[in-house]
């Protein structure tokens, strides 16, 4: 039921269903470190948290709800990343801890349930996988499964290689009701998410004013959730990974409130233009 909080048997991950065509997922913002769970020590495992992204995810949902009366679904990892990673395949996510196998299954079942709700209520919708980065350039990094090299290759090359079909918004790039935005314009045109959020005062790449990270600049192009839960292989829900810088976005409660307000404005534009959804 929308607004009710559910969790797995361990209380490690939380799912609050919604009734808007929007899903917010925060896989790296947990704080719990139960002594009974071993630390992940798989080779190459990243165990550093994305600071305050759980709080930011809650702020985005609350802001959206207050503004519109409709609630985005919320899926949160409460465990610290040294215990569980909500954005990896099972073995790496759990570090091989058998006691977390059910948590991993529950986590993705919760996202699948949120997606099914969207499909039933409004046919189409959007999932945001919310993260925090520590890269040198203070800008939002929008992950559609295209890496820096892809984005730098230029519009003609991206069109020629049918790059949008390889993205986490593949379906939307073909069926947005805003016909001029089908294809590449949805990535960094005037009605892309990067355009809408940059216009609210938060620079983003890719966007019309910053179409690609420069060579040598770090950039996150999206991960396991973006690939699994977006529309790369069809389905009702598209996905975009948002990697947030720290200062002025998620470092304080005031910054999170201001950013949540701006992002909700941008998302409402996006839902209106590309999904034909607006609050009742």
Q: Which residues here bind Zn ion, judged by CB under 5 A? A: 28, 50, 131
- Nearest residue (CB) to Zn ion, 202 versus 277: 202
**Measured distance CA(266)–CA(277) in Å, rounded:** 13
Number of H helices, E strands in the chain: 10, 8
Round to the nearest angstrom and report the end-to-end CA distance of the chain: 19
**Measured distance CA(267)–CA(193) in Å, rounded:** 7
- Nearest residue (CB) to Zn ion, 50 versus 150: 50
Which single residue brings its beta carbon nearest to Zn ion?
131
- Nearest residue (CB) to Zn ion, 8 versus 50: 50
Nearest-approach distance from CB 86 to Zn ion, in angstroms: 9
- Nearest residue (CB) to Zn ion, 46 versus 184: 46
DSSP 29: -
Nearest-approach distance from CB 159 to Zn ion, in angstroms: 30
CA angle 11, 16, 22 (to 5 degrees): 140
Nearest-approach distance from CB 245 to Zn ion, in angstroms: 13
Nearest-approach distance from CB 50 to Zn ion, in angstroms: 4
* CA torsion, ordered 64, 255, 5, 93, to nearest 10 deg: 120
């Amino acid at each position: 039921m929308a607004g009710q909080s559910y969790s797995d048997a361990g209380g490690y991950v939380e799912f609050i269903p919604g009734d808007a065509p929007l899903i917010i997922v925060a896989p790296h913002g947990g704080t719990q470190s139960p002594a009974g769970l071993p630390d992940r020590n798989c080779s190459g495992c990243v165990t550093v948290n994305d600071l305050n992204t759980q709080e930011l995810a809650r702020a985005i949902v609350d802001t959206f709800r207050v503004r519109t009366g409709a609630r985005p679904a919320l899926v949160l990892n409460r465990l610290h990343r040294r215990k569980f990673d909500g954005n990896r395949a099972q073995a790496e996510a759990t570090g091989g801890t058998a006691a977390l196998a059910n948590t991993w299954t529950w986590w993705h079942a919760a996202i699948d349930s949120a997606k099914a709700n969207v499909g039933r209520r409004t046919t189409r919708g959007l999932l945001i996988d919310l993260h925090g980065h520590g890269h040198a350039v203070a800008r939002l990094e929008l992950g559609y499964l295209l890496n820096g090299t892809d984005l730098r290759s230029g519009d003609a090359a991206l069109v020629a290689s049918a790059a949008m079909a390889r993205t986490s918004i593949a379906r939307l790039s073909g069926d947005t009701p805003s016909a001029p935005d089908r294809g590449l314009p949805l990535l960094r045109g005037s009605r892309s998410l990067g355009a809408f959020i940059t216009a609210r005062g938060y620079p983003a790449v890719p966007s019309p004013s910053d179409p690609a990270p420069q060579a040598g600049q770090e950039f996150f192009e999206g991960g396991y959730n973006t690939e699994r839960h977006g529309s790369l292989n069809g389905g009702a829900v598209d996905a975009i990974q948002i990697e947030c810088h720290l200062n002025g976005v998620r470092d304080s409660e005031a910054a999170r409130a201001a950013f949540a307000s701006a992002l909700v404005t941008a998302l409402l534009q996006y839902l209106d233009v590309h999904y034909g959804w607006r609050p009742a």
